[in-house]
Amino acid sequence: TSLSIALENKLAETQIKSLLFAIAVISIIMFFICRTFGLTVIAMIANVFPILVVLGIMGCLNIPLDITKVMIASVTIGIGVDDTIYFIIGFRRNVEAGNNYKYAIIKTFRNVGKPIIITSLVLFMGFSILMMGNIKPTQTFGLFTAFAMFLAVIGDLIFLPALLLFFKPRLSKVSY
């Protein structure tokens, strides 16, 4: 009915606004962790990357946004930012210990790479289980969220280090 379509559209619109608000709040929090604007931007690019790819694929496949699919982005940013924070903190510590950016990234991989991969694998598998359900929206949510979790680890372990090496953002001195 037209009432249920209008309600679903309003819910999707509200979810999009909530996602944008969440990205803004996470950016502010990330600034306090990163301590510089450049590092914050790089960290947020790595966090928004999986969302843009998943939403882009859904757009290319003409999959309409509904409340379930819009939630994928919110879940992805909420969960994905955790690994980014671990990587950024490890990277900052390694640079502040006197390592150049390249070696700091290598040391960061040694320290946090394995835990990031393990937690991401667990999340990927957990969301993949939703695809075995009988309810189509739940299956779709599981598929795209699992894929987003895969992309989030790619963003944190490949895209983020590449951006750090390419842009070499200035780091402020902070003790932990």
Q: What is the DSSP string of 3-63?
A: HHHHHHHHHHHHHHHHHHHHHHHHHHHHHHHH-SHHHHHHHHHHHHHHHHHHHHHHHHTTP
pLDDT digits 0-9 by tens, 22-40: 999 999 999 999 999 999 9
Whole-angstrom distance, CA of residue 88 vs CA of residue 106: 13
Mean pLDDT of 60-73: 86
Residues 6+ apart with CB under 8 A from 56: none
Q: Residue 176 pLDDT > 70, yes or no?
A: no
Residue with tokens 């510590």: 93
Mean pLDDT of 70-95: 93
Question: In three state form, how does the secondary structure of 113-176 look?
Answer: HHHHHHHHHHHHHHHHHHHHCCCHHHHHHHHHHHHHHHHHHHHHHHHHHHHHHHHCCCCCCCCC
Q: What percent of the chain has pLDDT over 90?
A: 76
160: which 2 tokens?
A: 């983020």
Q: What is the pLDDT of residue 55?
A: 92
Whole-angstrom distance, CA of residue 163 vs CA of residue 168: 8
Whole-angstrom distance, CA of residue 112 vs CA of residue 107: 9
Contact 55, 73 (CB under 8 A): yes
pTM: 0.90
Q: Residue 112 pLDDT > 70, yes or no?
A: yes
Instruction: For the beta carbon of residue 23, count every other beta carbon within 10 angstroms.
Output: 19
Residue 1 amino acid letter: T
